[in-house]
């Protein structure tokens, strides 16, 4: 029987696409903007704005075609049969989301590409040239995000191996977290490495928008408006809530007081960790994933970062990289076949799934790290990555944009 367009599925996917867009604009922009110094707030927000725009153009012209085209070259990349958006009919149904138009699926996946590279910006704020960032976005989306999306979601070799990633634990979070780590190793430390949020209220609003948008991110990845979307929705919220509570408890134990920054960091860590697992695990597993992930990210930020000495300004690696790692592995543990027949984890009798998840994590992290280092090194040689010392000390808003976030 030929696939038939379903208006309910299409409406849900359009809504989910808009929800994921909200995650970047303004979610990430506000979340990151509030955490930086006030002399860099506009520059920080601009990095998300321009990343979304560049990624959007790349995606429709050739990114989607290479990521989701028919597999070729032994699972490495897709066949770009519809370059420049040619030959894609208005009523043509997607081959992967068979009840919605392909244009809707393209738009949905576009928002994933955009937010992934925007997340990287949080690690390099307050010291990277705008021009270099724009070139990096274009190169990284083309050479890192697109191939990895094909490997995991587009029928590539990791998909053929059986790797599970419901909504982006490897493709989005491990990928962006590890890329952030590679880029900051090239950039070096800021002059002032203290995290002193100038307007934490922006970050709370950004975190709330991210939480809200994440329902489109995860439940939308069911690609239908049905029971699986509902299951992913409740698992997503449960993990985020559990992770926030867990981080607040850690704050109490460490300092005797809860912090708002800790609460929103915990929520984001929980959302990251449940992303690969949302459509595979039970609510009970979501609680465990959320409770554990705050400990993983907290330890990474509080102990691993100081010990190794890297300057991950807004803890992109600590939250997205490390919680993404835990979430990907947890999917291999907790995936329940009665939730989604496509996944069976270790605790339901399939130990091989955990090994497959480990392979996927290593491959994605390794490729992202090395490729990002190469891209960053080339850009550094050609045009330089880092702003001048004077610009960094005085602030990037006035020096790079001739604007200020505040007039008082």
**Nearest residue to 265 (alpha-carbon basis) of 203, 310, 358, 209:** 203
Q: Answer whether 121's CB lies under 8 Å from 133's CB.
A: yes
* pTM score of the predicted model: 0.97
**Nearest residue to 110 (alpha-carbon basis) of 75, 152, 67, 49:** 67
pLDDT at position 213 over 80: yes
How many percent of the chain have pLDDT more than 90?
Answer: 96
pLDDT of residue 263: 98
Task: Report pLDDT digits (tens) over 65-121.
Answer: 999 999 988 999 999 989 999 999 999 999 999 999 999 999 999 999 999 999 999
Q: Is 327 left (phi over 0), alpha (psi -120 to 50) or beta?
A: alpha
C-alpha to C-alpha distance for 293 and 269, rounded to whole angstroms? 6
* Topology given in CATH for the domain delimited by 7-401: Ammonium transporter fold (1.10.3430)
User: Mean pLDDT score of the chain, rounded to an integer?
Assistant: 97
pLDDT of residue 127: 97
CA distances to 77, 79, 157, 250 from 62, in Å? 12, 10, 20, 45
Residue boundaries of the structural domains of the chain: 7-401
State the pLDDT confidence band at 237, using cuts at 50, 70 and 90: very high
Q: What is the DSSP string of 72-98?
A: ETTTTEE--TTGGGTT--TTPBPSSST
pLDDT of residue 56: 98
Task: Report pLDDT digits (tens) over 367-395.
Answer: 999 999 999 999 999 999 999 999 999 99
pLDDT at position 407 over 90: no
Query: For 73, how many CA atoms within 13 A lie in the half-sphere containing its CB?
Result: 12
pLDDT of residue 157: 97
Q: Answer whether 19's CB lies under 8 Å from 220's CB.
A: yes
Query: For 378, how many CA atoms within 13 A lie in the half-sphere containing its CB?
Result: 9
pLDDT of residue 16: 98
Cβ-proximal residues to 355 (8 Å cutoff; 6+ apart), any chain: 332
State the pLDDT confidence band at 195, using cuts at 50, 70 and 90: confident
C-alpha to C-alpha distance for 273 and 167, rounded to whole angstroms? 11
pLDDT at position 346 over 80: yes
State the pLDDT confidence band at 23, using cuts at 50, 70 and 90: very high
pLDDT at position 408 over 70: no
pLDDT of residue 236: 98
How many percent of the chain have pLDDT more than 70?
Answer: 100
């Amino acid at each position: 029987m030929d696939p038939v367009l379903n208006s309910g599925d299409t409406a849900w996917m359009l809504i989910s696409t808009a929800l994921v867009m909200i995650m970047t604009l303004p979610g990430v922009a506000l979340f990151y903007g509030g955490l930086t110094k006030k002399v860099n707030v506009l520059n920080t927000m601009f990095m998300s704005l321009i990343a979304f725009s560049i990624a959007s153009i790349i995606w429709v012209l050739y990114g989607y075609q290479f990521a989701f085209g028919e597999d070729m070259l032994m699972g490495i990349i897709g066949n770009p049969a519809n370059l420049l958006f040619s030959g894609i009919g208005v009523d043509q149904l997607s081959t992967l989301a068979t009840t919605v138009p392909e244009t809707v699926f393209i738009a949905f996946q576009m928002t994933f590409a955009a937010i992934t590279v925007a997340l990287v910006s949080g690690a390099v704020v307050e010291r990277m040239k705008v021009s270099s960032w724009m070139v990096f976005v274009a190169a990284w989306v083309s050479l890192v995000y697109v191939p990895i999306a094909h490997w995991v979601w587009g029928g590539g070799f990791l998909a053929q191996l059986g790797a599970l990633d419901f909504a982006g634990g490897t493709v989005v979070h491990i990928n962006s977290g590890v890329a952030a780590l590679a880029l900051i190793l090239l950039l070096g430390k800021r002059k002032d490495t203290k995290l002193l949020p100038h307007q934490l209220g922006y970050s709370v609003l950004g975190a709330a928008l991210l939480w809200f948008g994440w329902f489109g991110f995860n439940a939308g990845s069911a690609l239908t408006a049905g029971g699986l979307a509902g299951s992913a929705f409740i698992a997503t919220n449960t993990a985020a809530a559990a992770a926030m509570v867990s981080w607040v408890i850690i704050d109490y134990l460490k300092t005797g007081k809860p912090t708002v920054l800790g609460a929103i960091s915990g929520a984001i860590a929980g959302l990251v960790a449940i992303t690969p697992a949302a459509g595979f695990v039970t609510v009970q597993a979501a609680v465990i994933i959320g409770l554990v992930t705050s400990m993983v990210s907290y330890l990474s930020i509080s102990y691993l970062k100081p010990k190794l000495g890297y300057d991950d300004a807004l803890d992109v690696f600590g939250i997205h990289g490390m919680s993404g790692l835990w979430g990907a592995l947890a999917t291999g543990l907790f995936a329940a076949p009665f939730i989604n027949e496509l996944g069976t984890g270790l605790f339901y009798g399939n130990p091989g799934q955990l090994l497959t998840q480990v392979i996927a994590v290593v491959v994605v992290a390794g490729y992202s790290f090395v490729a990002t280092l190469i891209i960053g090194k080339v850009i550094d040689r050609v045009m330089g990555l880092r702003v001048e010392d004077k610009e960094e000390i005085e602030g990037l808003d006035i020096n790079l944009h001739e604007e200020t976030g505040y007039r008082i």
